[in-house]
Each structure stands twice: as structure tokens, then as C-alpha cells.
Structure 1
Amino acid sequence: MSTKYKNKSKIAAIVLTSSFILSSIALPAIAREQTNNGRWVTGDFHTHTYLTDGSNTEADVLNNAFTKYGLDWMANSEHGGTSKRDPLGNNLTYPTWRWITLKDLSYPIIQNLRTQYPSKLLVQGVEWNVPTHEHASVGIVSDEPNSISDFEYKFDASDTDSSRAAEGVVKDNTSHTGAIDGAKWLEKNYPTTSYLLLNHPSRQLKFTAADVRDFNNAAPNVFIGLEGIPGHQKESFRGGYESTDPKAQTYGGADYMLAKVGGLWDSLLGEGRKIWMFANSDFHSTAGDFWPGEYSKSYTWINSNIHEAGKGKGLDVNKNNYQYLIDGMHSGNSFIVLGDLINGLDFNIKSGNTAAMGQTLVTNKGKDAEITIKFKSPKHNNNGDLVSVNHIDLIAGDVTAKAEPGTQEYNSDHNNSTKVIAQFTSNDWKYADGWYTVQYILKNIDRSQYFRLRGTNLGVDVQNQTDHNGNPLSDSLVGTNDSTKAYSDLWFYSNPVFINVK
């Protein structure tokens, strides 16, 4: 048999579609508040395989993500445009449009692999080449591949195929307006079953403050966040950020939009915008990337049934769980971690009622509120290192009205009210039952604010890594990055809790 037909046979075996179907698109939206019937899950929404510019099969990526590093969910989210190789890494005779390989190659593989990991969730996504910008991750939870395929065909800047014009499928992929139209398309068609996140948002400085606000205004339900901790964490330029511009560098592995206190994210939160931070691996190969779940993790609280799956607890595989995951991502009750610095966080504010991350506490002016921070750490991380938190910063900023398009505020990337209002060390927290607890009283609340956390294994004034206040310094200062340097510089960030003062 010729090599050509051997390869075709291998591909056919891989893409054999299972009869196992996971349906969620027809489900009504479920309540997003926290209940006792839930759990924390870890996941990664940005990974690549041979089909684009990765160096592994989907099965290999999943084996490491799920079996070795214990993630609960993962999305295949690789570039739009074309596929030059088949799922096994063999060169295709002719590059094939990505909207086709999404349907005919990638999705059948995912359907088949879902049967092999019945306690895990596997989402079909795409890394969107955003018209006039850079990249974003898009995921649509569905039991068919046409939705994500149609999105890529219509809106991906690298997909110049026009073969579907006869079907009346119109392309809109050459302008910022087209980018916003893509977000609106998701908001209109999949408001509760899709997500849109900007990838490595500052890497090439192709997303301005106004652009981020445009996406949020166009799709407030679907545009849920930013890749605050990008992948490529062991590349020679950490995160793949090679610019000499301070705003296009990483700081302790974090994008400038997240790392800068009073920066762009704080300006968005200061308008009360529900825009969250996420972490991922952006896995392409082990040369510059950690496996999904090996180093970076996003923790998300989901309302989910629990059952025993094999030797441990897993997600109950039924048509509800994909909706639970998307709702959890939308809720903002989540936090992100490097190097397993922590593996548990409970951050809430109480004044009569209690609000967790992503939620809003409504209280009367002049009232006091109690902030509770509970966290725990594993004994060792995946590098075999002992891990411990050196200090935690409590960051706060004022919340005012949303900026209007065309105004100076709409283009602003800073919030002058945002400050570190308290810094906690081991002298401040108490230990019991595996958890460290810090409590802090807000006295006489007189305005609406938000509060978020940042923690690290580093002390203050660590040469080339932190300043005298403990803020992370540019990763360029430590020279060429590698896995050893990455594991010596660990951080976690929470999403905010809002206080609305009557």
C-alpha cells in the first residue's frame, strides 16, 4: 500500500466519529449564582496540535492535560485560516481551509476522544485571527461542528476562501467593524453557550483600551475576558513577548494589562465591567511551552453534579455539564495560578450578605464590611518544588459610570484610584485544617469599589523581579527565560468582588 493511502487510512481511524453525543446548545440558561452543589475545576482554553502549528496529536495533548496533570476540561483552540498538515503531522498536498478541517478532521477527533475521558470536558474552539488585531480564543459548546466552522469562515482574517458565496454566506473579516460583527454574531446566536477571550492582549499592542471596550459593549455576555497570564511561559522571551515597549512585556509572567496596578484592567473594572482574567498554556510544543495544566491553571467554580469516576471524582457526563462550565466561566468566580502556588482560594466580602469573586455586594453607605481570604497550597508543584506564598496584596479601586465612546475616558488605559490597600504575610494569616485565613475590615464604606487579590512566592525588593512594594518587574530584566526561571517566579491573581454602595 502506498504511503498516501496508508496516511488516509490512519486519518480515517482517527476521525471515526463516535455515536456518543453531548448536547447542550438547546438547554436554557441556568442560574449562575454559587450553590453548594458545585466544585472547582481547572482547565485550559488555548492549545494546538499538528493541524495548525502544533507538534503533537490531540490524543497526546489530552493524555498529558487530563491524565498526567489532572485538568478537568480543555479546549482545542488553534489558528483559523488553513491547515497544512493532517492530524498525524503529515503534510497535506494542498493546504485546506480551516473551516473545513474544523468540521471534517478536528471535531470528529474530539467527539471520539470524549468517550475516552468520560469524566472530562473537551470543547471545540478556534484561535481567531481577529481582523486588524491579533488573536482571540472562541469556543462554542454544541453537539455539531457547523457553528464554530461558520464563525471561522465568516470572520477569520486569515481565511480568504469565498467558495460559500453561492450559499449566501457573506464574509466580514477585513476591518475592526468586522471584528466587532464577529463578537455580535456570537452574542446573537450563542449568548449563553459561547465565549470570547483576547489572547496575549498586549503582545503586539494591537488591542487598544477602546477596542476592548468595543468588544465588551458589542457582546457583554460572550466577551468575558482576557488572557491575563499568556502561554509560552518557558520561551526565551517569557510569554513570547519580545518587544522593548514596557507595555508589551510580561511582568512575573503576566500581561501588562493585568500586572500593572491601576492599568487597563483596573480601568475596565472601575466602570463595573464584567471582564475576567484567565490563564492558559498556548501549548504548541515542549520546546517553549509547558503542557496544559503543568504550569498555568485557571480555576473556575461550576455548579455541577459530582460522581465517582474511576479512582477519583469527576464531572458527571451528561448534557448539562458543558453549560455548567460556560456559566462558570461567565460568572467570574475564578482565579489563575502559576506553578501551583496555590490550589484553593475563597475570597469574599460580607456586609449583611456575602459576595464572592465576580459578584456584587450591595450595602448602605457608612456600613463596615469584612473581607475574608482563605487559601491553600500543595506541598510540591509539578517541578517537585516546595511552594509557599510570601505575601498577598489586596488591591482596590473606585467604580464609576461606564465611559462613552468617543470620549477621552473611553480610550483610557489607567485608573488612578486603584491602589494596593493592604499587604498580608505569614504574620497576618492563621492556619487551620489545611487552609490559611486572613480577615480584613473595611470601615465606613462611602463609595462603590472593587477588590482583587495578587499573591506571589517572592518577597519585596527581589533583584530584577520585584520592586520595594512587591510589584512584579519586567521579565526582560532576568535575561533569557527558561523553565527554571519560570518556576522561581510564581504568582496568582483573583477576579474581583464588587461593592455597590446605595
Structure 2
Amino acid sequence: MNKKYSFLSLAIAVAIAGCNSSSTGKSSPEVKIGRYMAGDIHMHSTMTDGDYTYYQVAQKAFEQFGLDFIANAGHGGWYWMLDEEGYRLDDNGNRIYLEDAPEVGEKPRHDYDYALEVARDSKTVARDIQMLDGGAYGIVKKVREMYADKGQFVINGLEWNVPGVNDHASIGVINEQDGEIIAEFHRNFDYSVTDHHGNIWKDPEYKWLAYAGVQFLENNYGQDAYFIINHPSRRINYKVEDYRSFHNASELVTLGFEGFPGHQKQNFRGGYDNNIHYQMIDGELVDNFDTGRGEIGGKYDFCETNLPEVNESLYYHAQTYGGADYALAKVGGLWDALLGEGREFWLFSNADFHHIRGDFWPGEYQKSHSWVEKESYEGIVAGMRSGNTFVTTGDLITDLDFTVSSGNKSAYMGETLVASTDTSSVSVKFQTGQKNHNDDIATMVQLDVIVGDVTGRVYPGNPTEFNNPNNASTYIAKSFTPESVEWVEGENGWVTVEFELDVEAHQYVRLRGSSNGANVPGYTDQYGNPLVDTLKARFNDGQCISEESGDLEEWNPEEPWNDLWFYSNPIFIKQA
């Protein structure tokens, strides 16, 4: 675990002692007391459809892969009761497990598929019952106790089956005592539950119940609760109007989205193959993608139309780009549309761990780094809510100090700078070149600065604007590489990039970095934008191989280690 405080804290404290000018109601430039804590709040265990007990998952996350906080976020629905060691139990109270299987492996002791094979009829316990003190929550409490004196934290949560949307989100509530809070939420708002007419709450007409669920969290638990959209584009069920409606329902609880989904080891990274079906028809690859709202037909060529900027087919929305969800990867896309309204809607990354066949362990490949001032449950959720979070894959960077300044005012990620001039100073300091969990030296070779206009809120009364998932003003303002004069390398992998940025009336600035740089076949375009990940198995010696040739490479589960990224949350800038 990284136990150091911000590398500039002492210097800033000395330099600005006594300074108290404000841009956001806080002392600014501000002494940042605290540190970035690495977390993952979306993972699975024997509580639902995982291959390992929560004890095993927590041990890997905390002891091997350096996370500071995790959340129990098993699916809503119907599963098995558990004993205190995390073994699944059948209706007779017998443990369900493979006796001669290894603890960790392709088919381990607690293999979920085996449990389905031999005891599917016992998979009848509602999660709101399983979650209570004597079951899953008892395990959560024990794991908390195991790591409390090590400064590591375990949040109790749920991967919510969201009504009306028919997709998932992570929720969590801190300071609960017996698991009843999450159990109550599941009983009242999970779409696996039926109403008194026997209707399952998946249909779009039940979206009102989803918004009510978010409001329930705010009204009852306020700052102790969070809601984050999971794997946003995997099913194309989350529309931009849903993001806006959730945020409107509760800006306090709706923190953001999982811009880097889990399942990064799978051949369709992120597991984004759930609803993708394609076939050869008359020698052409034809998209038979069904969104659940009717079939979308269209022809495409993996080798030619792969950029999110130039291909608006829904097929391409339901894939990842350098591991990132389309909503994040497209410059000027859905996330930029929300930021262009000035919404405080933040970016996160989680492993969505189930098993080692297609998933990395929590913290092994991807992390969310949130700035935490007070190391406590309240401090962690406050840090997530602040927007001062950056996400990484493969530990491409391990620390970040990103500020925008004007005069004696400065702002960090998640904050708004009120600038006194039309030019602001941007400072980016990051640590790269460290060994990651694949024993590689992860080195960033391109830093992109992305800027967009903030034009104000849009409302449901104007559906043309409210349903628009784009921000046409967003662009890559600057790019830097080790050859740039602004790229200054220091000790221990620290790099400093400082420059002036012309700012119009109201804008935001965010960062993106990669291990490959621009114009790398199969990975990035000429500007450094990530290409669709289905290309990765289609390149031999720099040449794209068509589906018809039969020469496609086998997907290499180590491939994600060759394609590393980091993304920051934005800083908003407004002229005085």
C-alpha cells in the first residue's frame, strides 16, 4: 500500500502559509492533507456467482494486490445460504464444493458452475435473507475485523439489478450494523423481486422504481450511501437520459460510472459480448445485434471502421476501447456530454471479479485511486464523492498531482477554478515506470489533455437535448510525449508537464494517458485514441487480418498488459 502523503504537501504548506483566497468556498491554493487510497467496489464471491469465498477475495485484494478498500457487491437475486467459512450450503445444510479441487485454479474448490450442476435446486435463497447477520454480513464483519488494524476497509454493498433499465449498478451504505440496510434495499428495489401482481421489474415502465431507489438512499442514509453505474454500455440499456435522470434523482448519492469495466482478461474485454451476435452472410460480416428493442442490422469491417469517432453503430457502442467503456473512450461522447452540463459525475474502475478464467483479481490489473483526507469509512466515501479520483490499468501511473491555477487560486480534480484571466496554468505531475503485477515496467509514453465547453444543464422537457449523448465542443487540446520540451523527468519515475491553457467562459479539462502512444496498429489511431478491442486478435505483424481469412490469432489473456491506460476526472474552469 502507498502510505505516503501528497508529494507536494509539505512544500505547498510552506509556500502558502497564511494564504486564504477562495474559488470554491475553500482555502485555495489548498494544502491537501491525505493520500490517494486504491479501491475496488465491484467483486463477487461464493455469496453469489463467484468461485472464491470473500475471505479469499479480500486476502488477494489486500495482501497481494495492494488495495486499501473494497466492497462486498454480490448480485441481487437468489442464491444459497452460506456457513461462516463462506461455503455454499444445500437445503440439507451440506457444503457444496469440489473435494479434490485446488483452492485457486481454473476449476477451484468453490467453482460456481459445479454448484449449479449439483445443487441448482437449492439456489432459492433471496439475497435479502442471505445478507443478514447470520449469513453474508457475518462474513463481511469477520473480514473487516481481520484487516481493521492494517488500515484496510470493507464496505457492505450490492450489485443492484436496476429496475426498468435491466442492468446493474453498485450501491453501498457505510455504518450499518447488521446487514439489514442492504437487505431492505434489495427487498424493495431489486428487479429480481416481483411485485404483488407477480411482475418482474425489468420493463422500462419500472424506471420510476429505480429513481425512487436512489432517492431512498439519499433520504435515509445521505452521505453514507453511494450509487455507481456498472459496465454502462455492455447491454446498451443505459441511455444518456438514464444517467441524467439518476443524477437528477440524487446528486448526493449518484457518484458516477464504471468507465473501466471489469472482466478485462476476457476475449471481449469487459465481457462486452453478452448481446453481440455476428455472422458471415454472402461473404460479408453482418451485425445481428439485438438491443431488446428490435434488431439492428448493419455491415461493418473490423479492419476499417473501428474508431468511436467515426462509427456510430450500436455494435461499436457495446465494446471496449483500450479496455474503456465507449461512454468514456469516445472524446466528445456520453461522459463529456454530462461534464458539458457541469454535472459532478465521476469516473471509477472495478475488476468485477468472479473467477480467474476471464477476470483479474481486485487490484491486480485496474484500480480507482481516490483522495482521502480522513482514513475512515466516511472519509473514503467522501473521497469518492469529491471527484478527486483517477483510474489506472496495469499501474501505468501510481500517483498523480493534477492542478489548474490562475493567480493565487488553484483547483484539483472535482473542483471548480474561478479564473481571473483567460489563460490558466496547468500542472500535471505523475509517477510512472514502476513494476506492475505482471512484473512489467509500466511506462506512460503519451499524455493527452482533453477540453470541453460547459454550457449548462439540460432538462427532460427538451428531449432533443436531454437525450443527446454527445458534446461536440470536446477535443484533444494538447498531447505530450517524452520528446516534448514540457515533459520533464525527475527521480523515481516522476514526470512533470506544465503548460498554459487558453480558457473560454466555462470549460473543463481532463487527462488521459497510454503505454502505446499514437498510431500503433491495433491499439491507437493517429491521435492516440484507443481502437476497438476486437482488433487485438486481428493483427499479425502490423497487418489487420479479416474474419474470412481464418488466420485470426487466439486471444491472449496477457494482452491487456500490452495496452495500459490512465484517465483522470475533470477540473472545471470558470472565468470570473
Q: Matches of residues 144-293 of structure 1 in structure 2 within 5 Å?
A: 144=177, 145-160=179-194, 175-242=206-273, 243=276, 245-293=315-363
Q: Structure 2: how far apart are the matches of 1:400 and 1:359? A: 17
Secondary structure at the residue paired with 2:131? Answer: helix
Partner residue, 1:362: 418
Deviation string, structure 1 residues 250-277 (Cα, Å, up to 9, x no partner):
0000000000000000000000000001
2:217 is the counterpart of 1:143: no
Partner residue, 1:7: none
Q: Structure 2: how far apart are the matches of 1:373 and 1:492? A: 13
Secondary structure at the residue paired with 1:204? Answer: coil
How far apart are residue 363 of structure 1 and its match? 1.8
- Among candidates 292, 302, 311, match of residue 372 of structure 2: 302
Secondary structure at the residue paired with 2:135? Answer: helix
Gaps of 5+ in 1: 1-30, 164-170, 305-314, 316-320
Structure with greater Cα Rg: 2
Partner residue, 1:105: 135
How far apart are residue 285 of structure 1 and its match? 0.4
How far apart are residue 121 of structure 1 and its match? 0.4
How far apart are residue 335 of structure 1 and its match? 0.2
Deviation string, structure 1 residues 334-391 (Cα, Å, up to 9, x no partner):
1000001110111110002000000000123x43210001000253110011211110
Contact 2:193–2:201 (Cα < 8 Å) also in 1: no
Alignment CA distance shift 1:355-1:60 (3 Å): same
Partner residue, 2:87: 88
- Among candidates 58, 62, 70, match of residue 54 of structure 2: 58
Q: Structure 2: how far apart are the matches of 1:172 and 1:158? A: 7
TM-score if structure 2 supplies the norm length? 0.75
Q: Structure 2: how far apart are the matches of 1:355 and 1:469? A: 28
Task: In structure 2, give the amino acid aligned to 1:100.
Answer: I
Q: Structure 2: how far apart are the matches of 1:421 and 1:94? A: 53
Q: Matches of residues 22-41 of structure 1 in structure 2 within 5 Å?
A: 35-41=31-37
2:39 is the counterpart of 1:43: yes
Contact 2:445–2:516 (Cα < 8 Å) also in 1: yes
Partner residue, 1:423: 479
How far apart are residue 58 of structure 1 and its match? 0.5
How far apart are residue 173 of structure 1 and its match? 7.5
Contact 1:98–1:159 (Cα < 8 Å) also in 2: no
2:144 is the counterpart of 1:114: yes
Deviation string, structure 1 residues 397-444 (Cα, Å, up to 9, x no partner):
00011001132110011000000000000123112233100001023x
Q: Structure 2: how far apart are the matches of 1:426 and 1:458? A: 12
How far apart are residue 172 of structure 1 and its match? 7.7
Q: Structure 1: how far apart are the matches of 2:32 and 2:501? A: 27
Task: In structure 1, give the amino acid aligned to 2:185.
Answer: F
Q: Structure 2: how far apart are the matches of 1:105 and 1:42? A: 28
Q: Structure 1: how far apart are the matches of 2:359 and 2:510? A: 28
How far apart are residue 94 of structure 1 and its match? 5.3
Task: In structure 2, give the amino acid aligned to 1:40.
Answer: Y
Partner residue, 2:403: 348
Deviation string, structure 1 residues 303-333 (Cα, Å, up to 9, x no partner):
12xxxxxxxxxx5xxxxx1000010000000
Deviates more, 1:288-297 or 1:180-189: 180-189
How far apart are residue 484 of structure 1 and its match? 1.4
Root mean square deviation of aligned Cα: 2.0
Secondary structure at the residue paired with 1:288? Answer: coil
Q: Matches of residues 424-439 of structure 1 in structure 2 within 5 Å?
A: 424-428=480-484, 429-434=487-492, 435-439=494-498
Partner residue, 2:301: none
Task: In structure 1, give the amino acid aligned to 2:476.
Answer: V
Partner residue, 2:499: 440
How far apart are residue 32 of structure 1 and its match? 12
Contact 2:334–2:469 (Cα < 8 Å) also in 1: yes
Secondary structure at the residue paired with 2:441? Answer: coil
Q: Matches of residues 315-464 of structure 1 in structure 2 within 5 Å?
A: 315=375, 321-352=376-407, 353-364=409-420, 366-407=421-462, 408-428=464-484, 429-434=487-492, 435-443=494-502, 445-464=503-522
Gaps of 5+ in 2: 1-25, 92-121, 277-286, 288-314, 538-553
Secondary structure at the residue paired with 1:343? Answer: strand
Secondary structure at the residue paired with 2:270? Answer: helix
How far apart are residue 456 of structure 1 and its match? 0.2
Deviates more, 1:450-459 or 1:143-152: 143-152
How far apart are residue 483 of structure 1 and its match? 2.7
Q: Structure 2: how far apart are the matches of 1:379 and 1:80? A: 38
Q: Structure 2: how far apart are the matches of 1:446 and 1:62? A: 47
Q: Structure 2: how far apart are the matches of 1:369 and 1:80? A: 47
Contact 1:32–1:331 (Cα < 8 Å) also in 2: no
Q: Structure 2: how far apart are the matches of 1:89 and 1:35? A: 49
TM-score if structure 1 supplies the norm length? 0.86
Secondary structure at the residue paired with 1:469? Answer: coil
Deviation string, structure 1 residues 210-262 (Cα, Å, up to 9, x no partner):
11100000010100100000000001211001136001100000000000000
Task: In structure 2, give the amino acid aligned to 1:336.
Answer: V
Partner residue, 2:567: 493
Q: In the comparison of the two structures, how many residue pairs are matched?
A: 449
Contact 2:240–2:469 (Cα < 8 Å) also in 1: yes
Alignment CA distance shift 1:393-1:94 (3 Å): closer
Partner residue, 2:156: 124
Secondary structure at the residue paired with 2:160? Answer: strand
Alignment CA distance shift 1:53-1:266 (3 Å): same
- Among candidates 513, 526, 529, match of residue 468 of structure 1: 526
Q: Structure 2: how far apart are the matches of 1:472 and 1:172? A: 36
Q: Structure 1: how far apart are the matches of 2:509 and 2:89? A: 50
How far apart are residue 108 of structure 1 and its match? 1.1
* Identity fraction in percent: 42
Partner residue, 2:535: 477
Task: In structure 2, give the amino acid aligned to 1:48.
Answer: H
